[in-house]
Structure 1
Amino acid sequence: MSSLSLARIFPRFPALPRPGLAALLALHRQRQRLARLDDAALEDIGLTRDAALAEARRPLWDAPGHWSHAER
């Protein structure tokens, strides 16, 4: 079985550092926990319910921008 990479599938796009699967799954869990916080906890961290739910709805691959520039 040959290994496929994005660079082989899309050769014009350079390989960029990306977060690993474990980091993406951790991000997903954090977003789900954020959605379950009560209003008092959200107020403590300075977020509205709408902002917390919007963050929780972001797709798994929509990781923070600084992750793509992280050194490995």
Structure 2
Amino acid sequence: MERTLGSDLHFVEAPSTDHAALPVRLIANLMLWQRRITTRHVLARLDPRLLADAGISEAQRYAELNKPFWR
């Protein structure tokens, strides 16, 4: 038996001025920034053979490593 949502259900996105959503967005951004920092540290430690296996050039690595954590 397959479950489906009825067409009478409507989901409304909370407006961006909703103060209750602010902590959730803040935590989500902090987690994203931490993940970027962590993956860039790993990228910095990859040797040329692993970079080649991943299809990443030295120029691409350099460009990624020079980005600030919020981008």
For the criterion TM > 0.5, the same-fold answer is yes
C-alpha RMSD over aligned residues: 2.2
Which of 19, 29, 33 aligns to 1:20? It is: 29
Q: Give the aligned length.
A: 48
Structure 2: runs of 5 or more not aligned: 1-16, 18-24
Question: Whose RCO is larger (CA < 8 A, sep 6+)?
Answer: 1
Consecutive unaligned residues of structure 1, counting only runs of 5 or more, are 1-6, 8-16, 63-72
Provide the residue aligned with 2:41 in structure 1.
32
Distance 2:30 2:54 in 1: 27
What is the percent sequence identity of the aligned residues? 30
TM-score (norm 2): 0.56
SS at 2:56 equivalent: coil
Query: How far apart are the structure 2 equivalents of 1:54 and 1:33?
Result: 15
Shift of 1:40: 0.3
Q: Which amino acid aligns with 2:56?
A: L
**Runs of 4+, deviation exceeding 4 Å:** none
TM-score under structure 1 normalisation? Answer: 0.55
Task: Report which of the two structures shows the higher radius of gyration computed on alpha carbons.
Answer: 2
